Amino acid sequence: MRRRQFLGAVMSSTILPKFAFGATPPFRLTAEPVQVQLLPSDSAATSMFGFNGSMPGPELRLRQGERLKIDFQNNLTQGSSVHWHGLRIENAMDGVPGLTQEVVNAGDSFQYDMAPPDAGTFWYHSHNVSQEQVAKGLVGALIVDEINPPDVDHDVTVLIADWRLLDGGAFDEEFGDLMSLSHGGRMGNYARTFMSQETVKKGDRIRLRLINAAADRIFPLVLTGAIGKIVALDGMPLSEPRAFDNISLAPAQRADLIVDAVQDIEIGMLTRGPTFPLGKLTIEGENTTRIASPIPLLPKNNVATPAQPSQNLTLTMMGGAMGNRHGGSDIWAFNDISGLPTEPFGSFSRGETARISLVNDTAFPHGIHLHGHHFNEVNDDGSLGDLRDTALVDAGKTTDILCVFDNPGKWLFHCHMLSHQAAGMKTWINVA
Ligand code: C2O
Ligand code: CU
């Protein structure tokens, strides 16, 4: 199945196969090989990895203030680990082999025990050989409900990803293709959503939690059939609901929308040609009791406001095809170093605010993710921008971020185009 077919109508977005959404505590999360009906049901199933027998893994859901205890069991034939993307938790639970824990070997288990401070839309994924294990399906949604959630009729999780498949639907096991690694990453040739439900009523108010769980692809999304606003990005509420035409999500980024259903809600990906359908929420019946009201604000999470920065650092993305020469030993580098350096890129005392210029000196966009913290992007006019955990920086552009480093430990700082981080684009910081 090559690009031509991907762009063609392989996908009837009518019947999406069901999979396990929702699990109840205590959570046991088992990574294992699974057969997934990724393509429409008249096609063959695909051999992938999953959690608890499904890909994506079960949606983990808790209330703000609750602890999350997970018994992770690795039933793969290779090492693995789980990272709780966007949760500002204790360093030892962050799931990064070699930095925060030992790899969980085949057949072994590890207990994660966390107290996530923030309500919002997060996700979990493998953090070992992640460019392969995430691409093969070790992903799932993680939702922390507000103590007082907004008034909506449905709360719908929409996990979006792409996969590279061979003719007939088998998973393409080739991960070493240099062309992909040195360009935008290893893009799939098939993409779709997995949603926690498939129907709504006309007139319903719906919270949509969009999660880009792809290994490398930026999704430029369009949404039709609903009217509403963006209320949160990367799990963090916006200070005001924001209008949108389309929404670009880098790998690992999330957007929460609150919308009112007007007709079938279709989610598609913008392409140079016609919009590629990713999934839809079909209208069945009509909600006649909901009274029109403005899109509500979400309650803020307790994230420290940046002070005057006491350090100004620059992280320059280097390498790739058509890139300048750099001093690193692999395809990609940060500040002339490929892979994890022995010394951290930055050292901060707990509570310190630093400003970091993310300079993209390459020919490709990168989604830069900091573990254990959220940071504010700085707007072009110098004002404090959105709180995020992953910043999308376009080719040739610079984005400044301000971060209050208040979570002690060694934290990974890397490109979330997972092929790029595997080919050198990663570093770490230390908060003491
Ligand atoms: Cu979503 Cu280092 O990870
Ligand atoms: Cu990158």
**Per-residue tens of pLDDT for the chain, all 432 residues:** 444 344 333 443 333 334 455 555 568 899 999 999 999 888 899 999 999 999 999 999 999 999 999 999 999 999 999 999 999 999 999 999 999 999 999 999 999 999 999 999 999 999 999 999 999 999 999 999 999 999 999 999 999 999 999 988 999 999 989 999 999 999 999 999 999 999 999 999 999 999 999 999 999 999 999 999 999 999 999 999 999 999 999 999 999 999 999 999 999 999 999 999 999 999 999 999 999 999 999 999 999 999 999 999 999 999 999 999 999 999 999 999 999 999 999 999 999 999 999 999 999 999 999 999 999 999 999 999 999 999 999 999 999 999 999 999 999 999 999 999 999 999 999 999
Give the number of the ligand closest to the Cα of residue 364.
Answer: 2
Helix (H, G, I), strand (E, B) or coil at 195: strand
**Residue 249 C-alpha to ligand 2 middle, in angstroms?**
14
Give the span between the Cα atoms of 197 and 21, in whole angstroms.
9
* Residues near 342 by beta carbon (within 8 Å), at least 6 away in sequence: none
Q: Which residues pair with 242 in a beta bridge?
A: 230
Residue 3, burial from CB neighbour count under 10 angstroms (0-12, 13-18, 19+): exposed
Q: Hey, whose CA ends up nearest to atom 3 of ligand 1?
A: 85
What distance separates the 2 farthest-apart alpha carbons in the chain? 64
Q: Which residues pair with 227 in a beta bridge?
A: 260
Query: Counting atoms of ligand 1 from 1, which one is nearest the CA of 412?
Result: 2
**Residue 23 C-alpha to ligand 2 middle, in angstroms?**
33
Q: Which two tokens stand for residue 193?
A: 């959503």
**Residue 295 C-alpha to ligand 1 middle, in angstroms?**
31
The C-alpha R_g of the chain, in whole angstroms, comes to 21
For residue 261, what pLDDT is reported?
98
Give whole-number Cα distances, 120 to 63, 73, 421, in Å: 10, 26, 26
For residue 85, what pLDDT is reported?
98
For residue 40, what pLDDT is reported?
87
Give the number of the ligand closest to the Cα of residue 411.
Answer: 1
For residue 21, what pLDDT is reported?
52
Helix (H, G, I), strand (E, B) or coil at 359: strand
For residue 3, what pLDDT is reported?
41
**Residue 274 C-alpha to ligand 1 middle, in angstroms?**
32
Count how many Cα atoms sit within 13 Å of the Cα of residue 257 in the half-sphere of its side chain: 25
For residue 1, what pLDDT is reported?
40
The answer, as to whether pTM is greater than 0.75, is yes
Give the number of the ligand closest to the Cα of residue 425.
Answer: 2
For residue 42, what pLDDT is reported?
86
CB 269 within 8 A of CB 137: no
Give the span between the Cα atoms of 277 and 274, in whole angstroms.
9
In sequence order, what E strands does 90-204 have?
Answer: 109-114, 120-126, 139-145, 154-163, 190-195, 199-202
CB 297 within 8 A of CB 315: no
Query: Counting atoms of ligand 1 from 1, which one is nearest the CA of 421?
Result: 2
Q: Hey, whose CA ends up nearest to atom 1 of ligand 1?
A: 85
Query: Counting atoms of ligand 1 from 1, which one is nearest the CA of 96?
Result: 2
Give the span between the Cα atoms of 214 and 351, in whole angstroms.
33
CB 402 within 8 A of CB 376: yes
One-letter amino acid identity for 239? S
* Residues near 59 by beta carbon (within 8 Å), at least 6 away in sequence: 20, 21, 22, 23, 140, 141, 142, 143, 157, 196
CA angle 141, 303, 139 (to 5 degrees): 15
CB 368 within 8 A of CB 416: yes
**Residue 199 C-alpha to ligand 2 middle, in angstroms?**
36
**Residue 168 C-alpha to ligand 1 middle, in angstroms?**
31
Give the span between the Cα atoms of 133 and 168, in whole angstroms.
21
Query: Counting atoms of ligand 1 from 1, which one is nearest the CA of 85?
Result: 1
Query: Counting atoms of ligand 1 from 1, which one is nearest the CA of 86?
Result: 1
CB 339 within 8 A of CB 326: no
For residue 247, what pLDDT is reported?
97
Give the number of the ligand closest to the Cα of residue 391.
Answer: 2
Residues having CB within 6 Å of any atom of ligand 1? 83, 85, 125, 127, 252, 369, 371, 412, 414, 416
**Residue 273 C-alpha to ligand 1 middle, in angstroms?**
31
Instruction: Determine phi and psi for 169, rounding to 5 degrees.
Output: 100, 0
Pairing of strands 332-334, 384-388: unpaired
Give the span between the Cα atoms of 283 and 59, in whole angstroms.
24
